[in-house]
């Protein structure tokens, strides 16, 4: 193995970055409703102040989240979220600079198993399958969230 | 948290002092002039080893003594301004910033509650040096509108509020703002001194896994940022009273006093550090190995505790990292045994306990013995025969492999000088020997000159791990050696890292194919494919290929069919002492014709006649 050191110059802290991670849900079933609400409330509050947007996906197998914003703020936000005991087995699927936000007007979108949107009914309607978050790639999650949010928009508009 | 404190002031003279204060004298001493021995009382009050202030109903300072000025870090000139007690309280020297408001609030509450009478309380504090301290606060009403407040700061570190403004720095890690090693040792000693049989304390020693590569690839600024994130995550997992310090590098220590179970903390902390970090635009996955030691334990000093925590940490690292281990006395016993082993190993060379055994190498095409590989043996008078698998890695670790390797070179060349001309001798060279290439080169030259054998008869076997560090430097050394006519063989090929890139980076004379591939022949389908590929590669690059560990006639036939040019293994001969080599050669030629190589012939003696005592064969420089 060649141990040549490649020093990578860090990007500017203000560069727009997109983070996609997934994790395992550790919230006891009985508290899920309350906890998810609390997560959404605090996320909307914190992220609005920090210019971070994104979307949260909650399924039976866990969480997946997209966060978009200035690099340093996303890093700081993830430092808080990543260490949250309500989830574990946190895996970052992608953390890259991006030209534009995929979720510009959404501070945090909850795509849960609500009446309006359910990732599993997505599959039933012939859309890309996402049987298990643990095998999903960052791209899978991004595409699914974009689709779900469109549907929720339509649902709200209707 | 709050404990009652013994009355701090018993000196009646001091308590009577306010007369002077009420006369408007803010400078210590003047108010006592109308009393006998007033000068003495003034001096006593001023130099009392307690911080004493007098306040009015608005908490404004009327008086303070030297100790109070030092404790609050307030210049004495300010006394004329009658600052409020509340504004100077947060300035208590040495108090951790996070605790300044707490102490201010505590003192103000106590003072406010004490307007009507005497009141004593103590507040437990954490100093910025991380040490736990206790500040006693006693408020005594003296006259209408005047109170005396006595602060007993005796348990606070004297250094923390000494004259030097940066005294705290000596206890702090400047990068993370945590305490440092000196600080940890100090608190540990205090904790140990105060411990009773009921105490349940623990030390957690943490070492980050895979931190060095992060520093190397992302740069030191990212490494430093990561260390700060790590310290913040750790701090969040601990109670206020738990001490967290950075010992240095990527090593942290936690002292838990009568806290949560150390196992629970170790698990929690380990989990948190295993979660990804985002640093300067990069995703960084590390983890931590943790050694845990519980105390107090009988006859155990602070040094012992740190050593034990270190042993447990070492065990955690060996267990595959990202885990924690509780210290067990057996670990100390192992460490003692290991030290004894190292001592024996260091002495073994001088005591002549090493010897060499030689294993024949056979050319497949000519069916002749081409040379022998020198294999190191250690016979210790008490330990008996020690396997090279055991002692070589340790010799490499403690560095005595260099002297040992030089001895092997001399000894092997001397032995070869007695063999029929043309027979080669192969000597293993440890990666450690490349660290001082001039010394290695000189040792080789000296061995050749002393023995008088031609350089072309000497073959140096090196492993892929030699290239792990300072590849360019190693290559240069190899070129120098090869320029003298010495042959260079790549040993254990196929077991290491980027084998192919190394093969083309240097014109090796020989590739020795690792025995694991030969053992897999006939059992694993891909073993044959690998063997063929390496043989073809060797042939293409002008290198011979030796199959190691050939034990059966079937294997020999297969490796020959797969294109290997040479074989080595029990089938040809077990390692034998130098004294038996000539006999081996005679008998081999007379009786041990390798008939398995002749077309259709699978007969001949079942086993070679020559056997050595050692059941395993591992050459110097090999670890498995």
Domain with B45 in it: what CATH number?
3.30.450.20
B114 & B151 share domain: yes
Given a cut of 60, is residue A4 above it in pLDDT? no
| DSSP code, position B429 | E
Helices (H), A20-70: 32-50
Domains of chain A listed by start with CATH number: 16-157 (3.30.70.100)
Pairs across A and B, CB distance < 8 A: 64
Q: How far is CA B197 from the centre of its chain?
A: 32
B186 & B106 share domain: no
End-to-end CA distance of chain B: 57
Helix (H/G/I), strand (E/B), else coil: B93: coil
Kind of pairing between the strands at A16-25 and A53-59: unpaired
Percent of chain B with pLDDT over 90: 44
B50 & B154 share domain: yes
Residues of A in contact with B277 (CB under 8 A): 79, 82
Determine the distance in angstroms separating the CA of B276 from the nearest CA of chain A, rounded to an integer. Answer: 7
Helices (H), B8-158: 12-15, 18-22, 38-47, 66-72, 85-88, 97-113
Domain with B201 in it: what CATH number?
3.30.70.270
Q: How does residue A27 score in pLDDT terms, banded at 50, 70 and 90?
A: confident
> Domain for residue B124, yes or no?
yes
Residues 111-130 of A with CB under 8 A from B: none
> Domain for residue B507, yes or no?
yes
Determine the distance in angstroms separating the CA of B275 from the nearest CA of chain A, rounded to an integer. Answer: 6
- A21–B contact, CB cutoff 8 A: yes
| DSSP code, position A88 | E
Instruction: Summarize pLDDT for B490-532 with one digit per residue, the tens.
Output: 998 877 665 677 778 888 999 999 888 898 887 777 888 888 9
Last residue in a domain, options B327, B349, B368: B327
Instruction: Provide the pLDDT for residue B133.
Output: 64
Read off the pLDDT of each residue in B180-201 and give the average, rounded to a whole number: 89
Question: Which region among B101-115, B258-272, B586-600 has the lowest average model confidence (pLDDT)?
Answer: B586-600
Given a cut of 50, is residue B600 above it in pLDDT? no
B212 & B84 share domain: no
The helix-helix angle for B437-451 and B401-416 (nearest 10°) equals 20
A1 and B468 within 8 Å at the Cβ level: the answer is: yes
Residues of B in contact with A98 (CB under 8 A): none
Instruction: Summarize pLDDT for A117-129 with one digit per residue, the tens.
Output: 444 444 444 444 4
> Between B263 and B33, where is the model more confident?
B263
A78 and B278 within 8 Å at the Cβ level: the answer is: yes
Q: How does residue A3 score in pLDDT terms, banded at 50, 70 and 90?
A: very low
State the Cα–Cα distance between residues B428 and B441, nearest whole angstrom.
14
A1 and B219 within 8 Å at the Cβ level: the answer is: no
Read off the pLDDT of each residue in B145-161 and give the average, rounded to a whole number: 65
B143 & B274 share domain: no
Going from the C-alpha of B295 to that of each of B197, B234, B331, the distances in angstroms are: 9, 21, 16
Instruction: Provide the pLDDT for residue B158.
Output: 46
Given a cut of 70, is residue A87 above it in pLDDT? yes
Read off the pLDDT of each residue in B356-377 and give the average, rounded to a whole number: 94
B180 & B147 share domain: no
Question: Which region among A34-43, B124-133, B373-382 has the lowest average model confidence (pLDDT)?
Answer: B124-133
Q: How does residue B55 score in pLDDT terms, banded at 50, 70 and 90?
A: confident
Instruction: Provide the pLDDT for residue B446.
Output: 96
B569 & B426 share domain: yes
A83 vs B236, B279, B497: nearest CB: B236
B181 & B203 share domain: yes
Question: Which region among B29-43, B525-539, B609-623 has the lowest average model confidence (pLDDT)?
Answer: B609-623
Instruction: Provide the pLDDT for residue B37.
Output: 66
- A98–B contact, CB cutoff 8 A: no
Percent of chain B with pLDDT over 70: 75
Given a cut of 90, is residue B377 above it in pLDDT? yes
Highest mean pLDDT among B56-60, B124-128, B555-559: B555-559
> Between A36 and B623, where is the model more confident?
A36
Q: Which domain holds residue B70?
A: 2-159
> Domain for residue B621, yes or no?
no
Instruction: Provide the pLDDT for residue A30.
Output: 83
Instruction: Summarize pLDDT for B200-243 with one digit per residue, the tens.
Output: 999 999 999 989 888 888 888 899 999 999 999 999 899 888 89
- Look-up: residue for tokens 């509650």? B113
What are the backbone dihedrals phi and psi of residue B450, each rounded to the nearest 5 degrees, phi first? Answer: -65, -40
Considering only alpha carbons, which residue of chain A is nearest residue B279?
A75
CA proximity to B152, closest of B115, B188, B122, B178: B122
Given a cut of 70, is residue B602 above it in pLDDT? no
Q: How does residue B402 score in pLDDT terms, banded at 50, 70 and 90?
A: very high
Helices (H), B484-524: 499-505, 515-519
């Amino acid at each position: 193995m060649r141990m040549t050191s490649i020093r990578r110059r860090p990007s500017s802290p203000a560069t727009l970055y997109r983070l996609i991670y997934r994790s395992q849900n550790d919230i006891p079933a009985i508290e899920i409703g309350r906890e998810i609400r609390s997560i959404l409330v605090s996320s909307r509050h914190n992220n609005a102040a920090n210019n971070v947007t994104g979307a949260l996906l909650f399924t039976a197998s866990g969480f997946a989240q997209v966060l978009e914003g200035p690099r340093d703020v996303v890093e700081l936000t993830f430092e808080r979220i990543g260490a949250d005991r309500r989830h574990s087995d946190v895996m970052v699927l992608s953390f890259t600079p991006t030209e534009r936000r995929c979720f510009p007007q959404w501070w945090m979108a909850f795509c849960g198993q609500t009446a309006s949107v359910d990732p599993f009914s997505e599959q039933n309607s012939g859309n890309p399958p996402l049987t298990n978050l643990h095998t999903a790639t960052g791209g899978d999650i991004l595409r699914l969230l974009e689709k779900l949010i469109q549907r929720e928009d339509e649902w709200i508009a209707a | 948290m709050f404990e009652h404190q013994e009355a701090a002031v018993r000196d009646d003279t001091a308590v009577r002092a306010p007369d002077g204060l009420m006369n408007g004298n803010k400078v210590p001493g003047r108010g006592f002039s109308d009393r006998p021995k007033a000068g003495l009382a003034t001096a006593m009050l001023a130099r009392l080893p307690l911080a004493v202030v007098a306040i009015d109903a608005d908490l404004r300072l009327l008086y303070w003594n030297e100790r109070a000025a030092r404790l609050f870090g307030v210049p004495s000139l300010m006394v004329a301004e009658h600052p409020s007690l509340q504004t100077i309280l947060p300035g208590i020297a040495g108090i951790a910033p996070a605790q300044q408001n707490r102490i201010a609030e505590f003192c103000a509450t106590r003072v406010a509650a004490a307007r009507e009478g005497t009141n004593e309380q103590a507040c437990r504090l954490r100093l910025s040096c991380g040490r736990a301290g206790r500040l006693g606060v006693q408020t005594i009403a003296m006259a209408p509108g005047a109170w005396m407040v006595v602060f007993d700061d005796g348990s606070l570190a004297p250094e923390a509020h000494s004259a030097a403004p940066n005294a705290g720095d000596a206890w702090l890690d400047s990068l993370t703002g945590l305490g440092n090693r000196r600080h940890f040792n100090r608190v540990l000693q205090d904790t140990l001194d105060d411990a009773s049989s009921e105490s349940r304390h623990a030390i957690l020693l943490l070492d980050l896994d895979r931190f060095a590569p992060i520093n190397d690839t992302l740069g030191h600024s990212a490494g430093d940022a990561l260390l700060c994130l790590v310290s913040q995550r750790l701090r969040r997992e601990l109670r206020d009273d738990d001490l967290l310090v950075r010992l240095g590098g990527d090593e942290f220590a936690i002292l838990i006093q009568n806290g949560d179970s150390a196992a629970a903390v170790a698990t929690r902390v380990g989990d948190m550090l295993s979660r990804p970090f985002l640093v300067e635009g990069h995703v960084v996955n590390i983890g931590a190995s943790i050694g845990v030691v519980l105390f107090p334990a009988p006859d155990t000093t602070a040094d012992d505790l740190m050593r034990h925590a270190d042993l447990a940490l070492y065990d955690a690292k060996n267990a595959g990292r990202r885990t924690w281990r509780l210290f067990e006395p057996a670990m100390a016993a192992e460490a003692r045994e290991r030290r004894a082993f190292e001592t024996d190993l260091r002495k073994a060379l001088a005591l002549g306990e090493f010897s060499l055994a030689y294993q024949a190498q056979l050319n497949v095409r000519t069916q002749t013995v081409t040379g022998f590989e020198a294999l190191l043996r250690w016979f210790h008078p008490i330990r008996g025969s020690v396997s090279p698998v055991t002692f070589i890695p340790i010799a490499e670790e403690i560095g005595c492999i260099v002297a040992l390797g030089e001895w092997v070179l001399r000894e092997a060349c001397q032995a070869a000088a007695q063999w029929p001309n043309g027979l080669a001798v192969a000597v293993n060279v440890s990666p450690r020997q490349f660290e001082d290439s001039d010394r290695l080169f000189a040792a080789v030259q000296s061995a050749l000159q002393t023995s008088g054998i031609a350089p072309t008869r000497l073959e140096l076997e090196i492993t892929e791990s030699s290239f792990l560090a300072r590849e360019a430097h190693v290559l240069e050394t190899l070129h120098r050696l090869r320029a003298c006519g010495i042959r260079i063989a790549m040993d254990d090929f196929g077991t290491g890292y980027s084998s192919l890139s190394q093969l083309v980076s240097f014109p090796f004379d020989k590739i020795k194919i690792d025995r694991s591939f030969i053992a897999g022949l006939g059992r694993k389908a891909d073993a044959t494919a690998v063997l063929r590929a390496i043989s073809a590669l060797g042939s293409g690059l002008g290198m011979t290929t030796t199959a190691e560990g050939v034990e059966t006639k079937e294997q020999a036939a297969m490796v020959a069919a797969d294109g290997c040019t040479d074989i080595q293994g029990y089938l040809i001969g077990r390692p034998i002492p130098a004294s038996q080599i000539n006999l081996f050669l005679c008998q081999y030629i007379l009786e041990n014709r390798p008939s398995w190589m002749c077309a259709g012939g699978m007969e001949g003696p079942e086993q070679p006649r020559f056997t050595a005592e050692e059941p395993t064969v591992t050459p110097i420089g090999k670890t498995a």
